[in-house]
Amino acid sequence: MFDYHIHPNYSIDAEGEVDEFCKAAVDIGLSEIAFTTHLDADRIADDCYVNVKGKRVDISSGIWFEDYESTIRGIGDRYEEQDLKVLLGVEVDCFPGVEAALPDRFFKTDFDIILGSVHLIDHVAISAKGRAEQAFNKYSLSELGDRYYSLLCDSVDLGIFDVLAHIDLYRRYGEVFYGVAIHDLWKPHLKELAKKMHSKGVGFEVNSSSLRRGMPQPMPEERIILALQEEGIKTVTVGSDAHSPSDVGKGISRALEILKRVGFDGPSSYRKRRAKIVPWDNLEKEN
């Protein structure tokens, strides 16, 4: 089993050393994990930091890429003996102008997987309690759909990442604000998004963190997963979005169960940014 969305304490909102996450993964029998530290580069939103050995460092600093890459690769070598593959990834926060804001070093780092996410609308984090309403207040429900999905589509167009993470993140705080109609927000936009994903070879992620927050569905919810399958998207990863070692692998089996039920051939595994589908039979054999 895989977990392709893990934040070690390089992320300022996460706790736990890389090694502790690896231990947790071995304990529950995972075979592959990807570390995906946040790369938030929107200077107006002002979350442009990472932690390196307890020090807060600007995201544009080359030091953190160097430290991060060598730490993950070094630990990866150690865990190879314990049948755990450790991948070097990153979660890029996508916003208009992100490409120019990304540090040079990002483009030179040898990542295994790059997640792309939309957390911000007009520089405000819709994933953060107490801040999301600030963004929602400006938009009617259908305007929010237009805005959010156009940000997603524009992000895919950049062609800088491999997998679109938590496609319906707006549900986290949006349901309380807009009501249940928010569950249909994707409908007018999904075909266009899938077309762009096809043209750039971008897959999507089933993110199980919503299950830990008491939501009944992963992100995206099952109807979106099915719609993407029907649009012919074949590349899909699974991730817990763990921000502490105790959350590694949580909800992944549920995400896999949904993917199998709606007709995916298997989750994808990544190496050096190339995806390969792991058929269900092979995945079950290794567990």
List the interface residues with Zn ion, window 203-222 (CB under 5 A): none
Instruction: Return the range that interacts with Zn ion (CB under 5 A); candidates 114-122, 140-148, 171-179, 277-285.
Output: 114-122
Instruction: Return the range that interacts with Zn ion (CB under 5 A); candidates 12-20, 83-91, 251-259, 265-273.
Output: 83-91
Mark 50-86 as b/e (b = at least 16 C-beta within 10 Å). bbbeeeebebbeeebbebbbebbeebbeebeeeebbb
Instruction: Return the range that interacts with Zn ion (CB under 5 A); candidates 62-70, 86-94, 149-157, 224-232.
Output: 86-94
Instruction: Return the range that interacts with Zn ion (CB under 5 A); candidates 15-23, 113-121, 223-231, 254-262.
Output: 113-121
**What are the DSSP calls for 109-134, one per residue?**
S--SEEEEE--EETTEETTSTTTHHH
User: How many C-beta atoms surround the C-beta of residue 232 within 10 A?
Assistant: 10
Q: What's the min distance (Å) between Cβ of 94 and Zn ion?
A: 10
Of 71, 117, 155, 237, which lies in the binding site for Zn ion, with binding defined by CB under 5 A?
117
Are 11 and 50 in contact, with CB atoms under 8 Å apart?
Answer: yes
Instruction: Give the residue among 96, 102, 204 at the shortest CA–CA distance from 150.
Output: 96
Q: What's the min distance (Å) between Cβ of 121 and Zn ion?
A: 14
CA distance 34 to 3: 7
CA distance 152 to 189: 10
In one-letter notation, the amino acid at residue 15 is: E
List the interface residues with Zn ion, window 122-161 (CB under 5 A): none
For residue 221, give both structure tokens.
């919810």
Comparison of 80 and 174: residue with beta carbon closer to Zn ion: 174
Are 239 and 3 in contact, with CB atoms under 8 Å apart?
Answer: yes
Instruction: Return the range that interacts with Zn ion (CB under 5 A); candidates 41-49, 85-93, 184-192, 269-277.
Output: 85-93
Comparison of 117 and 217: residue with beta carbon closer to Zn ion: 117
Q: What's the min distance (Å) between Cβ of 119 and Zn ion?
A: 6
Q: Does 162 bind Zn ion (CB under 5 A)?
A: no
Q: What's the min distance (Å) between Cβ of 220 and Zn ion?
A: 13
Cβ burial of 213 (10 Å; 0-12, 13-18, 19+) is: exposed
Comparison of 91 and 221: residue with beta carbon closer to Zn ion: 91
Q: What's the min distance (Å) between Cβ of 209 and Zn ion?
A: 8
Instruction: Return the range that interacts with Zn ion (CB under 5 A); candidates 61-69, 71-79, 212-220, 241-249.
Output: 241-249
Comparison of 90 and 227: residue with beta carbon closer to Zn ion: 90
CA separation (Å) from 100 to 41, 43, 87, 103, 114? 10, 12, 26, 8, 17
Comparison of 128 and 277: residue with beta carbon closer to Zn ion: 128
Q: What's the min distance (Å) between Cβ of 118 and Zn ion?
A: 9
Of 40, 168, 241, 247, which lies in the binding site for Zn ion, with binding defined by CB under 5 A?
241
Q: How many helices (H) and strands (E) does the chain have?
A: 12, 13
For residue 95, give both structure tokens.
């916003």
Question: Which residues sit at the interface with Zn ion, rule CB under 5 A?
Answer: 91, 117, 241
